[in-house]
Structure 1
Amino acid sequence: MRQFITIALLSALPTLSFAHTASPFLLPEVFDSKSDSVSFQSSITVEKFFVPSRNFKTSYQVTNPNGKTESINAAAELKKFNIAEFNLNDDGTYRIRTKEATGNPTKYALVDGHWLRVRPPRPANAAPMQQPPANAEQKAPQQAPANQPPRFVAEDQVPANAKTVQTTNIYIAESFVTKGKPSPIPNVENKGFEFKFLTHPNELFTGESLKAQVLMNGKAVPNLEVDVFKGVSSYQPNAKRDQPPVKTNAKGEVEVKFNEAGIYLITTAYPEASPDSTKQPAAQTYTYSVTVEVTE
């Protein structure tokens, strides 16, 4: 029974939007709890005005106000999202974070001096492209600019001697839940990709800002674009969700100002995608998000 109640609660939460690329997210049922337990969901969001798009395999780490970390698994693994819960035994702030979560590996091949993403070959029995009706207005097919190299190559079209690499995308999604009065959150580990919060993520109010320093293996990441999206009620289909993106400064510091109350998804990717296809893709990339609530 608890599982079905939890799913109902989570489905009633405001939805978030993500317009640019796939991102993991972790969404608690509440951010300020008076209960002895809390439930949350995790998923991947792809489309603008999204609902959970697809699931990804992960367990979770929960760090309690005393600094002790425990690992938990999902209580239910569904096609589009996971449901999990944990106990709030002590007052203070709890951090929830995905653990050892990775996306499907992406293969690239070096073809004519450009790194192209390798796609599976088109099945032989795939439906043919639909042809326009005979009386339809004929338009010249759109073609890529002459100086624009292709971005993809079918697997069966990769030259036999082509150099290939594989990229693994690490998903990091986190959020914070407080029972009673907020307490200090865990320190960064200076390992991998991290947000070092300079303001408490559970003490955010309208007109104020979330400040953080973005780190990679303990070193500041300057000039990194961070996207911000606002959750809205399903009864507000035309509400504006995309917020202006922000960038880290020379010290890797970023500031996200909130003009309205609500739930926000703050997300970024490292390293940023390069438009220069002559550069070899990184063997390991990170997609990060934190979900926060802003109150009046």
Structure 2
Amino acid sequence: MMNFRKSLLLLAATAAMAMPQMAGAARPWMLPSETMFAGSGNEWLTVDAAISSDLFYFDHPGQEWQPVVTAPDGSTAQVENRTVGKLRQTFDLGIKAKGTYKIAIVNEMLMGNYMLNGERKMLPRGTTAATLATAVPQGATDVQTATATTRIETFVTAGQPTGTVFTTTGKGLEMVPVTHPNDVAMGEPATFKFLLNGKPAAGLDVVAIPGGIRYRSDLKQIDGKTDAEGKITLTWPEAGMYWVSVNSGGRRGPGEGGPGANGSGGAPGAGGPQGQAGPEGARPMGPPQDRATYAMTVEVQG
């Protein structure tokens, strides 16, 4: 038995070392308890929300995210029993009307830097437009800022899917379905359109990863790129919950560090301190770049 356990540990260690670097990335997500309801008017949904390396497990500090639910008629539905724990956030939603609900977490913060006493300093992490004036000390000059927007979504449907909730805001990365996200099935193509600040998000890398990567060395990652219209078509090899992510803007600028884009799935606020040097060493700070991250959880039916 002891030799067997040692063999398992050795196999696990070897698999971990063989996994691509992306396996350790911080990924923001929501996980609904289910996505399809009969529509009886007396049903309940529970959602977990977290940032983690392993989909859909809890291995990072819990986040003070504020979920917003759009009901099928376009109104805002209230979540209940919201709790922020050490590693995750949970909340419940009463499914009272037929149609599609959108559950979204949207965060927008400012990245940037300023000159003070001959040195360039970074803005504190978590700075927003409302707190910028207090984040920049007196005497600072040459303030440079850029916006980082993170949008995390999932969708659930009672009865037949509807499209009212897919109204866009024109800010950051947003998804407009060609295929309804609650109408995807194993072996069938599904097409989604992405917009960046209201315009087609062309040429962006998209990744889709099924949950359960904690127990396998192969991510089973699906890679694709949006076309000139911002569209991408994905075909699902197996059933289950998938995390779909797209990023725009890459790093915050030369020397500014932070989680990468184009597959890393890192969320603003999930990486190391701003200004931290990467493996290549310190580099001069450049102007910050706008960044946008979108992450969606879809359930693929068997």
TM superposition score category, shorter chain reference: 0.5 to 0.7
Cα distance in 1 for partners of 2:121, 2:25 equals 18
Distance verdict in 2 for CA 1:82–1:50, change over 3 Å: closer
2:183 aligns with 203
2:193 counterpart of 1:250: no
Query: Aligned with 1:58: secondary structure?
Result: coil
1:186 aligns with 165
1:292 aligns with 298
2:245 aligns with 267
Deviation at 1:118, TM superposition (A): 8.7
Unaligned 5+ runs, structure 1? 1-17, 121-159
* Correspondence for 1:61 among 68, 71, 87: 68
1:33-80 Cα deviation digits (max 9, x unpaired): 346111101111235885342222221221222222235476111121
Cα distance in 2 for partners of 1:107, 1:205 equals 43
2:49 counterpart of 1:70: no
Does structure 2 conserve the Cα–Cα contact (< 8 Å) formed by 1:33 and 1:178?
Answer: yes
Instruction: For 1:204-219, list aligned pairs within 5 A.
Output: 204-219=184-199
Does structure 2 conserve the Cα–Cα contact (< 8 Å) formed by 1:32 and 1:177?
Answer: yes
Instruction: For 1:29-40, list aligned pairs within 5 A.
Output: 29-34=33-38, 36-40=43-47
Query: Aligned with 1:98: secondary structure?
Result: strand
Cα distance in 2 for partners of 1:251, 1:81 equals 36
Query: Aligned with 1:263: secondary structure?
Result: strand
Question: TM-score, structure 2 length as denominator?
Answer: 0.65
Number of equivalenced pairs: 232
Q: Give the aligned residue type for 1:30.
A: E
- Residue identity (%): 23
Query: Aligned with 1:59: secondary structure?
Result: coil
Deviation at 1:244, TM superposition (A): 2.9
1:22 aligns with 26
Q: Give the aligned residue type for 2:293.
A: T
Cα distance in 1 for partners of 2:235, 2:193 equals 15
More helix as a share of residues = 2
Cα distance in 1 for partners of 2:177, 2:77 equals 21
Cα distance in 2 for partners of 1:207, 1:216 equals 29
Distance verdict in 2 for CA 1:162–1:229, change over 3 Å: farther
Q: Give the aligned residue type for 1:245.
A: D
1:126-162 Cα deviation digits (max 9, x unpaired): xxxxxxxxxxxxxxxxxxxxxxxxxxxxxxxxxx999
* Correspondence for 1:88 among 75, 95, 120: 95
Unaligned 5+ runs, structure 2? 1-21, 126-138, 256-284
Distance verdict in 2 for CA 1:117–1:243, change over 3 Å: farther
Detail structure 1 runs of 4+ shifted over 6 Å in the superposition.
Answer: 115-120
Query: Aligned with 2:288: secondary structure?
Result: coil
Taking only aligned residues, the RMSD between alpha carbons, in angstroms, comes to: 3.3
Q: Which has the larger radius of gyration?
A: 1
Pick which of 75-84 and 272-281 moved more: 272-281
Does structure 2 conserve the Cα–Cα contact (< 8 Å) formed by 1:24 and 1:172?
Answer: no
